[in-house]
Amino acid sequence: MDALLMPPLVCLIAAALGALAWRRRPRLGRALVALGAGSLLLLSLPFVSGHLLASLQPARPLELASVSPPAQAILVLAGDAQFDAPEYGSTTCGPLTLERLRYAAHLARATGLPVCVSGGPPKKDELSHAEMMRRALEEDFGVAVKWLEPWSGNTRENLRLSKVVLEKEGVQRVLLVTHAWHMPRALAEAQRHGLDALAAPTGFRATPKFLEASSWIVSAKALRESAWALHEWFGRLWYALA
């Protein structure tokens, strides 16, 4: 269902509806085609996608030296999955999740803190995100995982169920690892569920310069990042209303 609200599909649907309406209601048809094609073009521009993501992410990364009182664990939230990866023999962590795991491994080595990974199965009859993350951290990054939260299906459940797992172990304060543009919503959910979380964002996206030619060349990468930003804004709105 999410895909229907995300580019490029929502843009193509608008344009297709406009084409169907063109003969009977030409003004509406032209407007829908222009909306669909125009939004697809704009969201494919690095300047637009960069500013959409910048509007979501905190300004600064974590400064470990300023963490006081000290955290007791590192909590990493799942992102995406790479389905049916033949070279690994099963579904495994996707690029976004790996970006978070890399930073979590960096923090674990720097602090010596134990790691908790959070995320349920991405689809029915698949391994949980948490189990895939555990395997990647231990086998690929050489960092042990102490706790798994393998049931959650979204950000709200990530924080609620991780709080239950960590609270049983006496953990009250964590370094929370997720993407910079996802961090404000994740922190809000941590606060909502009474988990003392300190932001440890990763995957910052630079804001493209207005006068750089590359800012105005359409790309699939920019469209993908625009979709991330819009998904996050919709997520914030949904959580605010729920």
pTM as predicted: 0.93
Residue 55: CB atoms within 10 Å: 12
Q: What does the buried/exposed string (b/e) look like for 111-138 if buried means 16 or more CB atoms within 10 Å of the residue's CB?
A: eebbbbbbbbbbeeebbbbbbbbbbbbe
pLDDT over 60 (residue 1)? no
Contacts of 240 (CB under 8 A, 6+ apart): none
Q: Residue 152's Cα: distance from chain center in Å?
A: 15
What digits encode the pLDDT tens for the residues 125-180?
Answer: 999 999 999 999 999 999 999 999 999 999 999 999 999 999 999 999 999 999 99
Structure tokens at 52: 């959409």
| Domain 64-202 belongs in CATH node 1.10.240.10 | no
Domain ranges across the chain: 2-55+217-241, 64-202
What digits encode the pLDDT tens for the residues 98-123?
Answer: 999 999 999 999 999 999 999 999 99
Structure tokens at 167: 């609270």
The SS3 of residue 175 is strand
